[in-house]
């Protein structure tokens, strides 16, 4: 958009603009790329991003606002801007409200939106499918026909083609391939094939032959479902899932009867190891760690130590498989020293044309890499990644506008929005339900444009009862449309079909989490898009992503907000609409203000709702204080403007002493032993336990090959 000193230019066809930006992202992206060459890039990750000087903006002209600055956390000056004297055509929507009315000054005193750094990086690509059919593998014919007829799959994915033969040979393996590339079957097929072929037929009462550990309950259910389908012809092999939430008593009863392929979250399994006499690991032939890098993280590590000790104490012979889309060098090295002669399987095809026939040559399995050539994670080719920079005060209306645009005015959209805590999920879920679906500002059916779709909100986080978690998971899985608000419990492994957009409302704490979150869309060769929401002070994060070979293209906040002109529920007092006159920036501001006021009115409708908003804000600040050291220069609590953040929780004023508790907690953390050291020590301990079954070989300095006692 062209710039006219602080006033948004006329947007004659806001509807068309929105559709151009989101419905046809490729051309828009290409246009932005071309425009980018004219911009000054900020290549250095150290340098602060350049300020955008002449861009059209909803933000009024620059002026230091001392009062606002004083309210910045810890008093650190943040560049803020006060409005130019409002003119008839460029006033905030709330300028027109009666004196004394509760209004929100959404478009005043916001920091300038910086020019985004635009580093050019070549993303890592993988080829998803091969032309080889499952028949090419040496599998039981009934297993092949189950894959073909029950799972309705004919050709193998690259990771399956590589992993299945290696695993059938009895090798340990580290498997890394992009999100949604079929890793679950890459291990489930060899497990089922090998167990059904055992000479002495497996009895239910034998107990577990395969142990599959996954980080979340939903993923446990999903993997269980896959195993169950593969076992259709082999009814004597019994699968089972332990995942917490269920009554321990009934899980104990199932364990007593016998489970041959046991899928579990680490915590729940530890529970049973400690309290259930009926669990044993005498027969274990397979140990699978799906999402291995997550399971090896601090937190899960303790549980895993208990599990490995219990398994090692009883089992003589087994294959170990570690899988993830983001197996880091640390995990690879740990596996290298602890697994038996492991094969490293990676489908990376970074520098080669994935469509060329030779590219298959790079699908060869290889020994684990000593060095880390893996610092760029593969991103599905069909995934369009976007970023939008939004001043804190406008975050809430921007998220709402985006959801309205996608889920109300476009068809068949399924959106996942990631937040950093359960409280944030719960707050936004309730707020959107109460304001966008019912109540005074609700989108009453008679106001809905004929092209609109009813909104459906769902939420998923660890504080929900298991019954509800499972119901939500199933509901969203089978829905064609809907908006799922969730924490990172939905980031790993979940295969939710036809998700079209991933929104990261709170930035993730690591590139791996970024990859897993966006990986809930564009799975198995499909298309999808993602949107990362950043505050102006967080723009540098784009460089951090680029250093991991992740490219994002910018979307303008103005384009997202302009959808509000389609919705007469948000008409300003002057009553303008796209029907009566062209929707310009002023109307967009008015409507955004009406929407914000709707949120604020709801939040201030009772003490309970105010307190809920404050708690959510506090939770946000706490989560913000936990970004890792390497990202602190971008996500630092001191860079937050408390008053502006409060607005994004529908609060009219910044609550007092809000960050005191977050700061206290931070200080307490500083007093704790160095977490990094603790993490390293845990990994070493874990490596020792993993290799304990090969103890004699290691102690005598034997080679890896001699470690295996089985
Ligand atoms: N050979 C195949 N042909 C067609 N579809 C397949 C094939 N293999 C797997 N799929 C489907 O692809 C989707 C993604 O598979 P899966 O969940 O195993 O991916 P993943 O690599 O484990 O992803 P993540 O890294 O996110 O955990 C699933 O819906 C699965 O049914």
Task: Kindly give the number of the ligand 1 atom that is closest to the alpha carbon of 155.
Answer: 1
pLDDT of residue 315: 85
- 386 and 341 share a domain? no
Where in 145-304 does DSSP place strands (E)?
A: 155-157, 173-176, 210-213, 239-242, 261-264, 286-290
Structural domain contains residue 696: no
CB neighbours of residue 444 within 10 Å: 11
d(CA 433, CA 454): 12
Q: Across-strand partners of 641?
A: 72
Start-to-end Cα distance in the chain? 68
The residue whose two tokens read 């992202």 is 25
More confident residue, 65 or 644: 644
Structural domain contains residue 187: yes
Output the residue whose Cα is nearest ligand 1's atom 22.
183
- 183 and 280 share a domain? yes
- 459 and 606 share a domain? yes
Distance 307 CA to ligand 1 centre (A): 27
Give the CATH number for residue 166: 3.40.50.300
Tell me the per-residue pLDDT of 580-593, one tens digit each, with 9 for 90 and over.
Answer: 455 688 889 999 99
Distance 352 CA to ligand 1 centre (A): 23
Distance 219 CA to ligand 1 centre (A): 13
Out of 179-193, 429-443, 455-469, 526-540, which region has the weakest mean confidence (pLDDT)?
429-443
Distance 677 CA to ligand 1 centre (A): 36
Distance 180 CA to ligand 1 centre (A): 5
- 205 and 297 share a domain? yes
Torsion of Cα atoms, 136 then 138 then 143 then 146, to 10°: 0
Structural domain contains residue 699: no
Distance 415 CA to ligand 1 centre (A): 19
- 179 and 293 share a domain? yes
- 466 and 563 share a domain? yes
- 410 and 290 share a domain? no
Task: Kindly give the number of the ligand 1 atom that is closest to the alpha carbon of 226.
Answer: 31
Output the residue whose Cα is nearest ligand 1's atom 11.
182
Helix (H) or strand (E) holding 411: none
| DSSP codes of every residue in 385-399 | EEEEE--GGGHHHHH
Q: Say how many domains are in the chain.
A: 2
Output the residue whose Cα is nearest ligand 1's atom 16.
182
pLDDT of residue 412: 92
d(CA 227, CA 145): 15
pLDDT of residue 334: 74
- 339 and 430 share a domain? no
More confident residue, 349 or 494: 494
pLDDT of residue 5: 31
Task: Kindly give the number of the ligand 1 atom that is closest to the alpha carbon of 516.
Answer: 26
Per-residue tokens: 359: 């590219």
Using a 6 Å CB cutoff, which residues line ligand 1? 153, 156-157, 160, 179-185, 325, 493, 495, 519, 523-524
- 341 and 238 share a domain? yes
Output the residue whose Cα is nearest ligand 1's atom 1.
156
- 534 and 416 share a domain? yes
d(CA 27, CA 21): 8
Output the residue whose Cα is nearest ligand 1's atom 15.
182
Per-residue tokens: 665: 């907690």
| DSSP 8-state secondary structure symbol assigned to residue 436 | I
CB neighbours of residue 361 within 10 Å: 10
- 387 and 301 share a domain? no
d(CA 382, CA 394): 30
Task: Kindly give the number of the ligand 1 atom that is closest to the alpha carbon of 153.
Answer: 3
Which one of 301, 323, 346 terminates a domain?
Answer: 346
What's the ipTM? Answer: 0.99
Structural domain contains residue 448: no
Task: Write out 443-501 in H/E/C secondary structure.
Answer: CCHHHCCCCCCCCCEEEECCCCCHHHHHHHHHHHHHCCCEEEEECHHHCCCCCCCCCCE
Domain containing residue 215: 125-346
Q: Is the pLDDT of residue 405 over 90?
A: yes
Structural domain contains residue 400: yes
Q: Which of 162, 184, 189 to mutate to test the pocket of ligand 1 (most atoms within 8 A of CB)?
A: 184
pTM, full prediction:
0.80
């Amino acid at each position: 958009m062209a710039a006219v000193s602080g006033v948004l230019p006329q947007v004659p066809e806001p509807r068309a603009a929105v559709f151009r930006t989101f419905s046809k992202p490729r051309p828009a992206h290409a246009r932005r790329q071309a425009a980018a060459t004219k911009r000054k890039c900020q290549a250095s990750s150290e340098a602060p991003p350049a300020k955008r000087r002449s861009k059209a903006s909803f933000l009024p002209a620059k002026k230091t606002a001392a009062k606002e600055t004083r309210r910045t956390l810890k008093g650190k000056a943040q560049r803020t801007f006060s409005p130019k004297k409002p003119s008839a055509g460029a006033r905030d929507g709330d300028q027109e409200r009666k004196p004394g009315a509760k209004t929100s000054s959404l478009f005043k005193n916001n920091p300038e939106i910086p020019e985004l750094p635009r580093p050019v990086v070549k993303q890592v690509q993988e080829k998803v499918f091969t032309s080889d059919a499952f028949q090419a593998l040496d599998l039981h014919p009934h297993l092949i026909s189950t894959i073909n007829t029950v799972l309705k799959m004919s050709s193998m994915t690259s990771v399956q083609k590589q992993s299945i033969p290696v695993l059938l040979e009895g090798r340990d393996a580290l498997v890394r391939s992009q999100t949604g590339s079929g890793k679950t079957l890459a291990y489930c097929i060899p497990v089922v094939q090998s167990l059904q072929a055992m000479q002495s037929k497996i009895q239910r009462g034998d107990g577990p032959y395969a142990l599959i550990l996954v980080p979340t309950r939903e993923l446990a259910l999903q993997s269980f479902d896959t195993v169950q389908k593969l076992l259709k012809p082999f009814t004597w092999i019994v699968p089972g899932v332990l995942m917490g939430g269920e009554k321990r008593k009934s899980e104990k009863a199932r364990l007593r009867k016998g489970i041959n392929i046991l899928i579990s979250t680490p915590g729940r399994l530890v529970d049973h190891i400690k309290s259930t006499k009926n669990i044993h690991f005498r027969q274990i032939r397979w140990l699978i760690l799906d999402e291995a890098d997550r399971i090896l993280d601090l937190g899960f590590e303790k549980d895993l130590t208990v599990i490995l000790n219990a398994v090692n104490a009883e089992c003589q012979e087994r294959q170990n498989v570690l899988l993830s889309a983001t197996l880091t060098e640390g995990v690879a090295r740990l596996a290298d020293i602890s697994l038996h002669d492991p094969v490293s399987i990676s489908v990376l095809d970074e520098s080669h044309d994935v469509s060329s026939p030779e590219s298959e040559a790079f699908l060869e399995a290889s020994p684990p890499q000593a060095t880390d050539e893996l610092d760029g994670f593969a991103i599905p080719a069909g995934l369009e990644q976007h970023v939008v920079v939004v001043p804190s005060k406008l975050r809430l209306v921007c998220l709402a506008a985006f959801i309205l645009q996608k889920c109300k005015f476009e068809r068949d959209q399924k959106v996942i929005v990631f937040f950093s805590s359960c409280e944030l999920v719960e707050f936004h879920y309730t707020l959107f339900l109460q304001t966008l679906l019912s109540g005074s500002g609700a989108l009453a059916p008679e106001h809905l444009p004929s092209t609109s779709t009813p909104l459906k909100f769902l939420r998923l986080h660890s504080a929900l009862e298991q019954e509800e978690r499972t119901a939500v998971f199933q509901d969203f899985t089978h829905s064609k449309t809907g908006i799922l608000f969730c924490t990172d419990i939905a980031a790993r492994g979940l295969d939710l079909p036809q998700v079209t957009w991933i929104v990261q409302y709170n930035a993730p704490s690591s590139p791996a989490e970024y990859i897993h979150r966006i990986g809930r869309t564009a799975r198995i060769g499909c298309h999808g898009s993602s949107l990362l929401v950043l505050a102006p002070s967080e723009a540098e994060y784009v460089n951090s992503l680029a250093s991991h070979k992740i490219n994002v293209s910018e979307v303008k906040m103005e384009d997202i907000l302009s959808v509000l002109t389609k919705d007469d529920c948000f008409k300003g007092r002057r009553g303008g609409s796209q029907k009566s006159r062209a929707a310009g920036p002023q109307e967009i501001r008015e409507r955004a203000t009406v929407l914000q006021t709707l949120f604020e009115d709801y939040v201030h409708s009772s003490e309970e709702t105010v307190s809920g908003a404050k708690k959510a804000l506090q939770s946000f600040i706490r989560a913000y204080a936990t970004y890792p050291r390497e990202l602190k220069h971008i996500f630092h609590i001191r860079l937050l403007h408390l008053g502006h953040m409060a607005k994004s929780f529908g609060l009219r004023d910044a609550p007092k002493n809000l960050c005191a508790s977050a700061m206290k907690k931070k200080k307490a953390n500083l007093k704790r032993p160095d977490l990094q050291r603790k993490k390293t020590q845990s990994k070493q301990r874990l490596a020792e336990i993993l290799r304990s079954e090969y103890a004699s070989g290691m102690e005598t300095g034997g080679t890896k090959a001699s470690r295996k006692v089985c």
